[in-house]
Amino acid sequence: MRSRFSFASHTTKALVRRDFLLTLKGWGLYLSAFLSLLASSFILKSHLGAIKENNILISSDPLNFPLFISLVIVSFYLAIISVISISREKDQGTLEVLFYGPVNSSSYLVAKYIKDMLLYLVMVCFFFVYFTAVSSLTNLSFSWSLVKAIFLSIFLVSCIVSFSLFISSLTSKMRTSIIWLVGILLAFLAIQIFHTMLVSLEEEALSSSLLYLRKTLEMVSRGTGWISPFSYLNRGMQSIAIGSMRLYGMSILYSLVYSFILLVSSVLILEAKGVRG
Amino acid sequence: MRKSSLFLTLILALLLGALTSPSLGQGPPIREQLVYSLNLFNGKTYAPGFCPRSEDAIYLIANENNAVSPRITLVYFWPITARYMAGFKTLNEEIEGTLELLKDGKVIRSLEKEDNVVFYPDGFFAENSRMYLGEEAHTFFQKYEKATKDYYKRIDEYYEKMREYRDAFNKFLEDLSKRREAGEELSRAQVEAEVPRQPGSPEGVRFYTTPLAKNYILNLPEGVYQIRLRARDGTIVQDSQKNLVAFVQRRGGTIGYEITPGNRWTMKESSNDPSKTIYAAGKNTLYLRPFLQDEYNDLYYKKLLDPQNEGTPERWIWVHTTPIENVLVVLLSKGRLLESIKRAPYYVKQIPGPELGYEILEYSEEEFAGRSPSFEGHKLEVSSVSGKGNYAFHLEKREGEVLKGSEREILFVKKENTNLLHLISIFPLIVGLVVFVQRKRSIS
């Protein structure tokens, strides 16, 4: 067990450095950041349009939803590049070569995880710049809740990255990995979005078929509540909304436990399946 | 052709069959059933209801008096509202026995019926009421009875005074015409000074107390319990077992506002959460009504209002419990006091025209005699063009004594910058370009 989970820090550092710089020098990161912020801009524009139309809008944190959309796009990007890099290295035999050296499953997967988290921290910088500019341009408040939401997003991304590592440890082909990852994440996201939408509507406004759908989604959400990475963000956002630091801390702790379990599982699966999958 | 006519005949036969079916001509089936008649505290007042056999749980607010009473009545399903209805007017049979309260399968209390009344300090249609038990219930009921008797006595006196007034008035008119015929010239002021005065109608009883009732009173700490009724012969009454959920608020005693925007007064907004900001886009008048409020789980609260309701366990709702009166709304801009606003009544006057179609005017009894105000509130006039910038407001009981949690912000969005939003999303690409150029340079 000790050898399985022991990893040389310098090897991990070297792997992180190599992958991080490589991604930083490519266009993908900047393009995904641009697309995520563009999507936020569209949402903000329609939000401002609604205020203009009604003359009044009461909202706690109007920037939280655009942040959520940006976050989803960026986390999909990070998850996909993680899966692609692992699958490619498996396909091309790079992983096998690495494993002949001082690299083992744990150091390899931890390096991938840290690299993705560092990339997300770069994204966080973009978010801070973007939302500060939005706030000063539109007067929508850059609140303490938004700062808390951005901090919380780091842990959601941790969940998604570890989930993507888990999926890539299970599959051997790049295409299969991407299809599984995107399919599952989209399904989780769709359940969460539709459920939130139906929950926010008054019962009287729902037809009987929508009521049944809401009940079904309620049950499905309860089932996926501890599996879906997005539900961890949802818990955190609710704790921000009610201003409970205890629940906020708990949601961060849950996310860390989730990431840890998936990372350990990924290492075990990779060990069991071997580098050739 | 033959196929289609056969199909049509079949459809017609089915339709005729359905129309002549005996079920269409009959009302819904009515069944005798044990139900729990409820009088539960909903955070501000007591609301009656009933729990049919189809529902296995009764939801109530913890640490408050709640009255339940098992009864035999007629129950039928009303398909239009998809609810069971009770015909208490036709059958309302009380069941005698002891109500047993269980927790984790053990009987923790055996309850007997208690005398109770619901007291409405501001009248039956006001928003608040309290339940009183035992001796206190009798005292409050007697107090109401006495007040009602006194009122009827005052009414009798009033009718007597009115009769006297009418006689005096008729006599005054006769005298007046005689004096005029006699050539006496009377000025308007003289006539007004001599005319008999109409007596004022007596003031009604402002409060209300329900008649004395005998129910099982549940005042429980938060938790899940079971109830069942043990008959006098020691057996458990069939269908009397129910789960009981006593719940508390998630957040309580905070201050919320009902906001009536001047440009659409029928569509009220709520600012329940102190963290919520009011965003405005132009000149607007806001009418604020502050409330004390509690936040409850949607499922529990809706089940409390009616056990047949569907609720959503993931949702939380704010319930405005007590209106906050005798306070000032203090409007500030950049920390500077702009004005202290008192609560006032307003009247919505319908006006013809293509614009809003109404006008909100300050109500006064003289100006709108015989009409009641449309609403009451603290009037805030805010504008982004006045150069005052963003606003903030809070409640003050006395000067300088800010009510905690009453602070809100009003921010004016800058509509003119909306198009720049897309531009600022380009900046990651600019950073990418810088990295790309740097890399190219280092390679070359």
Q: Please state the length of chain B.
A: 444
- CB within 8 A of A50, min separation 6: which ones? A57
Q: In what order do the strands lie in the sheet with B336-341?
A: A56-59, B277-280, B408-412, B391-396, B328-333, B336-341
Nearest-neighbour CA in chain B from A140: distance (Å)? 6
What DSSP element (H or E) covers B30? strand B30-41
Residue type, B136: E
3-state secondary structure string across B277-331 = EEEECCCEEEEEEEEEEEEEEHHHHHHHHCCCCCCCCCCEEEEEEEECCCCEEEE
Q: How confident is the model at residue B24 (pLDDT cuts 50, 70, 90)?
A: very low
SS3 B191: helix
Does the pLDDT value for residue B124 go beyond 90?
A: no
- Please tell me the total count of domains within chain A: 1
Q: Where are the domains of chain B?
A: 30-248, 251-417
**Residue B88, both tokens:** 């208490």
Using a CB-CB cut-off of 8 Å, the residues of chain A touching B271 are: 58
Quote the mean pLDDT of chain B. 87
pTM: 0.72
CB atoms A34 and B426 under 8 Å: yes
Query: Which of B:377-436 have CB within 8 Å of A?
Result: 390, 409, 411-415, 417-418, 420-422, 424-429, 431-432, 435-436
Q: For helices A208-224 and A174-200, what crossing angle results, to 10°? A: 130
Give how far B218 is from chain A: nearest CA, Å: 29
**Helix, strand or coil, per DSSP, at residue B84:** strand
> Which of A38, A55, A143 minimises the CB distance to B281?
A55
Q: What pLDDT does B7 receive?
A: 63
Residue range(s) defining the domain that contains residue A223: 2-273
How far is it, in rounded angstroms, from Cα A80 to Cα A95? 18
- DSSP one-letter string for chain A: -HHHH---HHHHHHHHHHHHHHHHHSSHHHHHHHHHHHHHHHHHHHHHHHHHHHSEEEES-TTHHHHHHHHHHHHHHHHHHHHHHHHHHHHHTHHHHHHHTT--HHHHHHHHHHHHHHHHHHHHHHHHHHHHHHHHHH-----HHHHHHHHHHHHHHHHHHHHHHHHHHH--SHHHHHHHHHHHHHHHHHHHHHHHHHHHS-GGGS-HHHHHHHHHHHHHHHHHTTT-HHHHHHHHHHHHHHT-HHHHHHHHHHHHHHHHHHHHHHHHHHHHH-TT-
Q: CB distance A37–B425 less than 8 Å?
A: yes
What is the pLDDT at residue B22?
46
Would you say residue B400 has pLDDT above 80?
Answer: no
Residues 314-343 of B with CB under 8 A from A: 314-316
| B-contacting residues in A 22-61 (Cβ below 8 Å) | 24-25, 27, 29-31, 33-34, 37-38, 40-42, 44-45, 48-49, 51-52, 54-61
Whole-number pLDDT of residue B67: 96
Mutate to test the interface with B, among A138, A209, A215, A237 (most CBs of B within 10 A): A138
How high is the pLDDT of residue A48?
87
pLDDT in tens, B293-346: 999 999 999 999 999 988 778 788 899 998 898 899 999 888 888 889 999 999
Q: Is A134 exposed, middle or buried (0-12, 13-18, 19+ CB in 10 A)?
A: buried
Give the pair of three-digit tokens for residue B64. 């408050």
Q: Which of B95, B302, B99, B96 is nearest to B219 (CA)?
A: B99
Which of B80-94, B253-267, B348-362 shows the lowest mean pLDDT across its residues? B348-362
B-chain residue closest to A208, CA distance: B82
Return the pLDDT at B13.
Answer: 62
Contact A211 B426 (CB under 8 A): no
Q: B390 burial class (0-12, 13-18, 19+ CB within 10 angstroms)?
A: middle
Q: Tokens for A159, please give them.
A: 């969940």
Nearest chain A alpha carbon to B411? A139
Q: How many CB pairs under 8 A join A and B?
A: 141
Q: Is B421's CB within 8 Å of A138's CB?
A: yes
Q: Is A71 on the interface with B (CB under 8 A)?
A: no
The average pLDDT across B343-367 equals 82
Asked if the Cβ–Cβ distance from A199 to B312 is below 8 Å, we say: yes
- In chain B, residues with a C-beta closer than 8 Å to the C-beta of A57 are 278-280
* pLDDT digit string, tens, across residues B223-254: 999 999 999 999 999 999 999 999 999 988 89
d(CA A14, CA A115): 11
Of all residues in chain B, the one with the smallest CA distance to A36 is: B425
Kindly state the average pLDDT of the residues B188-192. 87
User: Does position B281 have pLDDT exceeding 70, yes or no?
Assistant: yes
Residue B58, strand partner residues: B244
> What are the two backbone dihedrals, phi and then psi, of residue A133, each rounded to the nearest 5 degrees?
-65, -45
Please give the average per-residue pLDDT across B183-189, as a whole number. Answer: 85
- Percentages helix, strand, coil for chain B (3-state, rounded to 5) are 25, 40, 35
- Looking at residue A155, what is its pLDDT? 93
Top pLDDT among B283 and B241 is at B241
B420 vs A25, A34, A137: nearest CB: A137
Q: Do A48 and B425 touch (CB under 8 A)?
A: no
- B360: nearest Cα among B285, B268, B269: B285
| Section B265-293 average pLDDT | 86
User: What does the pLDDT read at residue B186?
Assistant: 81
- Please name the residue that has the structure tokens 């608040």: B128
Chain B residue with the nearest C-alpha to that of A240: B275
Contact criterion met (CB < 8 Å) for B261 and A137: no
Task: Point out the least confidently predicted range of A71-75, B359-363, B425-429.
Answer: B359-363
Distance from CA of A228 to the nearest CA of B (A): 17
The three-state secondary structure class of B152 is helix
More confident residue, A152 or B81: A152
Q: Do A241 and B270 touch (CB under 8 A)?
A: no
Q: What was the pLDDT predicted at B191?
A: 87
Identity of the residue in A60, A126, A130 whose CB atom sits nearest the CB atom of B275: A60
Closest CA to B225 of B37, B393, B57: B57
Q: Which residues of B touch A126 (CB under 8 A)?
A: 427-428, 431
**Secondary structure element (H or E) that encloses residue B424, with its range:** helix B420-424
Contacts of B412 in chain A (CB under 8 A): 139
Say how far apart CA A188 and CA A221 lie, in whole Å: 9
- Checking if the pLDDT of B23 tops 50, the result is no
Q: Does A246 touch chain B (CB under 8 A)?
A: no
Tokens 């201050």 belong to: B255
Q: Which residue of A has its CA nearest to B383?
A: A55
Q: How far is A134 from chain B (nearest CA, A)?
A: 7
Q: Which chain B residue shows the shortest CA-CA distance from A142?
A: B277
CB spacing of B436 vs A27 below 8 angstroms = yes
Mutate to test the interface with A, among B421, B438, B441 (most CBs of A within 10 A): B421
Q: Which residues of A touch B439 (CB under 8 A)?
A: 25
Per-residue pLDDT of chain A (277 residues; tens, 9 = 90+): 445 555 567 888 888 888 899 888 889 999 999 999 999 999 999 888 888 877 788 877 889 889 999 999 999 999 998 888 888 888 777 777 777 777 788 888 899 999 999 999 999 999 999 999 999 998 888 888 899 999 999 999 999 999 999 998 888 788 888 899 999 999 999 998 888 888 777 766 777 788 888 888 888 888 888 888 888 888 888 888 777 888 899 999 999 999 999 999 999 998 888 766 5
Specify the CATH number of the domain B251-417. 2.70.50
Query: Quick one: pLDDT band at residue B147, thresholds 50, 70, 90?
Result: very high
Q: Is B140 helix (H, G, I), strand (E, B) or coil?
A: helix
**Chain B residues with CB inside 8 Å of A137's CB?**
414, 417, 420-421, 424
